[in-house]
Amino acid sequence: MKLSKKEMEDIKKDKKELKELNNWVHRLQQNVESLEKRLDAIERRLSGEPFEKVRLSAAIKNKTENELNKLKEEIDKLKKNTEKPVISISRKAGKSEKNYDAILMDIERRIEKIEKRKGAPVVKVGKVEVPIEITGIVGGLLALLIAIMIFEGYKKLVISPPFVAFIGIVLLIATGVKTYIINVKK
């Protein structure tokens, strides 16, 4: 149900008027309370006895309550016109506090897991999250490269000092990159 521009403007105007009226009633209540406190203080000074608060007459009280009820009804009507559906979750009577404690502990455990791997990059494989260790990947690739080289007959090259130094440099660079990535995310 779409409302026309005029209806929307009327609703906005009504809301504004209701808000002003509510503010006026609230200020009036505050003024009455302030006057009651002042009268109480004056009475105590004059008589030395505590003074009971001035009570509103029944007619004024009924009139105020009627006005308040009318305003609440109008507010409810306006809310129904503009309000979107609200989804509420209620607690079922059959559940015990143990269930809620277990749920709370599970949530805390999950939060701890998330905080622990906050700095590490993660790849999702289905529902499983696998942390990516750059140094582990580089080390694994180097081990695979060495195995292939030995299999192809390059054993002397693999055990030579320059090749071992090259592998060390590659692992150091991988560690440096990992450290840099973790610190950049923080």
Least confident of 9-13, 49-53, 121-125: 49-53
| Whole-number pLDDT of residue 118 | 63
| Whole-number pLDDT of residue 96 | 62
| Whole-number pLDDT of residue 162 | 92
Q: Look at residue 50 and tell me whether its pLDDT is greater than 60.
A: no
Q: Is the pTM of this model over 0.75?
A: no
CA–CA distance, 89 with 100 (Å, rounded to integer): 14
1 confidence band (pLDDT: 50, 70, 90): low
CA atoms within 13 A on the CB side of 71: 18
Q: Phi and psi of 123, rounded to 5°?
A: -115, 135
Supply the mean pLDDT for the chain: 77
| Whole-number pLDDT of residue 83 | 54
| Whole-number pLDDT of residue 55 | 59
**Sequence letter at residue 180:** Y
